[in-house]
């Protein structure tokens, strides 16, 4: 190291000593062209990371099977998926789901088991389950289910182990979707893994249970039925859940645990193509992503730990008619199959399943580096690493303050004070970036050009990222010109001051993350560690004198955290951008995107922006970046390229619509009918809905915003299929003809029985396979208990200051009326109505799904839309 340092210091050029007229210490040492080259390098880095992120292995064909003995064959999984999706939508309770899908899957399983190796003991069971549970999802609900089906296969051996690994998928779908990715592909992968395992002669140390459940989309009942009632449930020690919120791409491990770090360690050691992050887990569990999986059921009702995987790319087709097999690449099946097969073998052959409680304590911080390998450590180790990194970082900053005192005469106290001032400037500049982005978003909304980035995400770069970079550069340059005048003749010291300020800010973030137990603090850790390495290497290799070679050191040291940070960001953006198309009209998607892009890229450029302090003729840089921004804005506003939706091949990004052809009936306190109406309920899925299609669908021009009804009627007097009123509250109503109801809903109060302090109401509700019961006791009246087998009634959001309750009921192929009772505690002086009570019914499949009027309306929608449609009813009573 001394030799290296001597070489650098012994060969001091004029530029290093700042003695030349052009490059003296009174002048900036970096030409603007060098900075432009760095910006070009950043673009190249972006492109390479995106390219790496999209890479998939080659799918193995059946013809190549001899080259992969006992391996995963993607083409065979693809054929299974093809057979399953040819059925069409498989909504729970439909003939397609309860009969045809079960036949396809059981036939495939029987064919696999017929040629199983004799070393394995294999059993298959088809379960029907009924039950109920509370689900604290979205606004909260109670799910009551009847005769949901599970197909279960247990692979064991003559060892007869009492311990099992569970692998889960679901074969049902939402209405109108063939469900190729969600979750037909997961089931196809599982069946091919089953084939690979039972055809191998290798004996499993522990059992593997394959659960193909027939009811996930109606809010997770089938997995609940298995884990609480099935004969093999008690032997499950860990699980793997396969899900989707997109189609194709790489499956991301986005939930792990709780506790049991050995599961994640097995994943890290066994899978050939890792993609995992504790950041993804914290994002999902924060609730900002509107969704839930069977992972919750196994965790909360089975007290089991496991891993949750999901395909997250191409979320545009999720839960639409476009979720077809055409959007599931062979490489995605191969990648997931190879990973889950290796993981299942590793877990089933491991010793931990024999005594999982011994390995229970602890959680891991984990993340993969460009999909090559997983870095992980336990929380105690994380605390130690973080604390040491904070200490080293503060030492480096202190050393730089001492160095500045020697060479510039700035005292250490003054240096530290300046650091604090600069941190304030950094925070202020981030706020300015966000304000400018939000202002731009407001202008675009005013001009009717919102969500241009939805189908073409590159627009977000041009309209939000470039201004963020420009404002950050201007802010730091203006601050330095006024705040560091006394050391302006030492440009390297000025640069070091701002570099240290960014490092100190990341150090503070890392320090705060230690007591808060934030596992995504590894992001701050990478910045702190490599910034410290840069400082240490700079001191040993260059000392106070720096040549242009220093820039390579800077690029190398901050380049690694820059690449890792962008890698994490691009994965998050691939997930979030499609979500904005289904987050509801009240989500303020344009503002969210503007704020998110400015904040994410503002922090990403943290060690790029100080370089502007070393650059001569900065006006060239600002002119170039500003010109790109203005030209991009002009193209977005003046050409069709700014249109947010697309139906083009390879650029599929439809606008989503949900339409319920609805009949509404309202009864007053005397139970007499007070109002009846019919029409089309339009659920606004994004901020552009519904008037983007006015020129195609004339009826939409008459759409009326639903507002007053939300104050007058429970759940706005509308047939919400799921309790999402707090998220999707902005909807429209188009008056229309009465729907055709093949099996009208019927609600009967079968008994009213006095109880101590109140009254018991007994109800019977019958109708189609999917029914909602909504109720809200009057003020002063409370629900004490009910016959539904849950620990206690789960209240939802308040309505007019009163509790609400949402009960979702669904049955299998055979209709079964929903019978239940509720005990109300009623004050002795209460002589008014007891409750508002409403029943919704949903005809999601079969002949009753859509009348000719509804079909004709849907047929008018353009090809760049995806419409989910059904027939529904809403009937309410004020019960005294």
CA distance 147 to 93: 9
**Bridge-based pairing state of the strands 818-825 and 758-766:** antiparallel
Let me know if 792 is a catalytic residue: no
Burial class (CB in 10 A: 0-12, 13-18, 19+), 245: buried
Residue among 350, 199, 189 at smallest CA distance from 262: 350
CA distance 500 to 402: 13
CA 843 to chain centre: 29
Q: Angle formed by the axes of helices 379-408 and 491-516, to 10°? A: 160
Burial class (CB in 10 A: 0-12, 13-18, 19+), 118: exposed
CA distance 863 to 649: 12
- Residues paired with 873 in a beta bridge: 663, 841
Question: What size, in residues, is the chain?
Answer: 880
- Per the CB < 8 A criterion, the answer to whether 765 and 822 are in contact is no
Residue among 163, 302, 304, 300 at smallest CA distance from 235: 163
DSSP 39-58: HHHHHHHHHHHHHHHT--PP
- Residues paired with 153 in a beta bridge: 124, 210
Encode burial over 760-776: b for 16+ CB neighbours within 10 A, e otherwise.
bbebebbbbbbbbbbbb
Q: What are the C-alpha distances in Å from 818 to residues 108, 144, 219?
A: 35, 9, 17
Residue among 201, 653, 221, 236 at smallest CA distance from 457: 653
CA distance 745 to 281: 41
Report residue 277: phi and psi, to 5°.
Answer: -165, 135
Give every CB contact of residue 448 below 8 A, 6+ residues apart in sequence. Answer: none
Encoding tokens for residue 754? 């006095």
Instruction: Pick the catalytic residue from 23, 98, 108, 216.
Output: 216
DSSP 693-744: GTTT-GGGGG-EE--HHHHHSGGGGS--SSS-TTTS--EEEEE-PPPP-SS-
Q: What is the DSSP letter of 654?
A: P
Vertex 673: Cα angle to 667 and 679 (nearest 5): 90
Vertex 91: Cα angle to 85 and 95 (nearest 5): 85
Residue among 524, 517, 537, 602 at smallest CA distance from 564: 524
At residue 797, the 3 state secondary structure works out as coil
- Per the CB < 8 A criterion, the answer to whether 611 and 473 are in contact is no
Q: What are the C-alpha distances in Å from 59 to residues 74, 330, 395?
A: 5, 5, 51
Burial class (CB in 10 A: 0-12, 13-18, 19+), 620: middle
- Per the CB < 8 A criterion, the answer to whether 234 and 173 are in contact is no
CA distance 770 to 720: 11
- Per the CB < 8 A criterion, the answer to whether 342 and 277 are in contact is no
Q: Residue with structure tokens 């892009």?
A: 597
Which positions are annotated as active-site residues? 216
């Amino acid at each position: 190291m001394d030799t290296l340092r001597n070489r650098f210091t012994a060969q001091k050029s004029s530029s290093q000593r700042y003695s030349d007229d052009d490059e003296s210490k009174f002048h900036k040492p970096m030409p603007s062209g060098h900075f432009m080259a760095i910006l070009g390098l950043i673009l190249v880095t972006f492109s390479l990371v995106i390219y790496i992120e999209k890479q998939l292995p080659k799918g193995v064909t059946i013809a190549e099977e001899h080259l992969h003995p006992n391996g995963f064959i993607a083409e065979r999984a693809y054929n299974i998926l093809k057979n399953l999706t040819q059925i069409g939508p498989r909504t729970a309770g439909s003939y397609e789901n309860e009969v045809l899908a079960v036949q396809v899957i059981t036939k495939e399983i029987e064919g696999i088991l017929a040629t199983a190796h004799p070393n394995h003991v294999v059993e298959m069971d088809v379960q029907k389950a009924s039950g109920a549970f509370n689900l604290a999802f979205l606004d909260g609900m109670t799910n009551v289910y009847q005769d949901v089906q599970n197909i279960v296969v247990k692979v064991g051996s003559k060892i007869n182990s009492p311990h099992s690994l569970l692998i889960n998928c679901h074969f049902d779908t939402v209405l109108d979707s063939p469900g190729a990715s969600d979750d037909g592909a997961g089931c196809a992968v599982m069946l091919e893994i089953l084939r690979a395992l039972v055809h191998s002669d290798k004996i499993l140390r522990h059992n593997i249970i394959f659960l193909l459940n027939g009811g996930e989309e109606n809010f997770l009942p089938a997995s609940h039925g298995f884990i609480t009632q099935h004969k093999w449930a008690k032997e499950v020690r860990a699980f793997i859940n396969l899900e989707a919120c997109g189609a194709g791409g790489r499956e991301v491990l986005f939930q792990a645990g709780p506790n049991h770090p050995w599961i994640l360690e097995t994943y890290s050691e066994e899978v050939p193509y890792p993609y995992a992050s504790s950041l993804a887990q914290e994002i999902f569990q924060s609730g900002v992503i509107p969704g839930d999986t069977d992972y919750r059921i196994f965790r909360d009702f089975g007290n089991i730990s496991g891993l949750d995987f999901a395909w997250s790319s191409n979320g545009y087709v999720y839960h639409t008619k476009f979720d077809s097999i055409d959007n599931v690449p062979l490489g995605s099946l191969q990648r997931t199959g190879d990973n889950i097969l290796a993981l299942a073998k590793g877990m089933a052959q491991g010793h931990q399943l024999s005594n999982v409680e011994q390995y229970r304590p602890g959680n891991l911080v984990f993340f993969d580096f460009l999909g090559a390998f997983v870095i992980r450590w336990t929380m105690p180790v994380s605390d130690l690493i973080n604390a040491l990194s904070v200490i080293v970082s503060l030492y480096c900053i202190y050393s730089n303050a001492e160095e500045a005192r020697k060479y510039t005469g700035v005292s250490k106290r003054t240096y530290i004070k300046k650091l604090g001032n600069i941190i304030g400037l950094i925070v202020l500049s981030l706020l300015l970036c966000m304000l400018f982005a939000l202002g731009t978003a407001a202008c675009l909304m005013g001009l009717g050009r919102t969500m241009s980035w939805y189908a073409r995400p590159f627009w977000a770069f041009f309209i939000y990222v470039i201004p963020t970079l420009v404002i950050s550069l201007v802010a730091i340059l203006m601050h330095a010109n006024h705040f560091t005048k006394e050391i302006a003749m030492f440009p390297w010291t000025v640069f070091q001051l701002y570099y240290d300020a960014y490092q100190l800010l990341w150090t503070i973030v890392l320090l705060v993350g230690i007591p808060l137990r934030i596992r995504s603090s590894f992001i701050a850790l990478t910045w702190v560690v490599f910034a410290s390495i840069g400082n240490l290497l700079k001191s040993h290799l260059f000392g106070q004198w720096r040549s242009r070679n220093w820039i390579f050191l800077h690029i190398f040291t901050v380049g690694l955290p820059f690449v890792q940070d962008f890698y994490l960001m691009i994965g998050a953006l691939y997930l979030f951008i499609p979500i904005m198309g289904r987050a509801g009209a009240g989500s303020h998607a344009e503002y969210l995107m503007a704020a998110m892009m400015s904040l994410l890229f503002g922090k990403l450029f943290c060690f790029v922006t100080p370089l502007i302090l070393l650059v001569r003729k900065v006006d060239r840089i600002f002119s170039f970046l500003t010109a790109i921004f203005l030209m991009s804005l002009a193209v977005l506003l003046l050409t069709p390229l700014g249109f947010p939706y697309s139906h083009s091949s390879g650029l599929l990004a439809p606008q989503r619509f949900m339409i319920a052809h609805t009949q509404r009936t309202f009864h007053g306190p005397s139970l007499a009918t007070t109002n009846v109406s019919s029409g089309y309920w339009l659920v606004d899925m994004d901020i552009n809905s519904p008037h983007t299609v006015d020129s195609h669908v004339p009826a939409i021009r008459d759409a009326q915003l639903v507002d007053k009804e939300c104050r007058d009627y429970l759940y706005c007097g509308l047939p919400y299929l799921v309790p999402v009123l707090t998220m999707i509250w902005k909807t429209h109503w188009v008056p229309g003809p009465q729907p055709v109801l093949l099996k009208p809903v019927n609600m009967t109060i079968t008994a009213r029985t006095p109880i101590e302090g109140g009254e018991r109401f007994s109800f019977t509700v019958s109708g189609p396979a999917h029914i909602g019961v909504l109720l809200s006791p009057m003020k002063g009246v409370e629900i004490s208990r009910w016959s539904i087998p849950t620990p206690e009634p789960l209240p939802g959001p308040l309505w007019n200051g009163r509790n609400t309750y949402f009960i979702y009921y669904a049955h299998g192929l055979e209709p079964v009326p929903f019978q239940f009772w509720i005990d109300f505690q009623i004050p002795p002086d209460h002589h008014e109505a007891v409750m508002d009570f409403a029943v919704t019914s949903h005809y999601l499949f079969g002949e009753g799904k859509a009348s000719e009027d509804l079909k004709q309306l849907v047929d008018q929608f353009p090809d760049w839309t995806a419409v989910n449609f059904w027939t529904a009813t809403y009937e309410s009573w004020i019960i005294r």
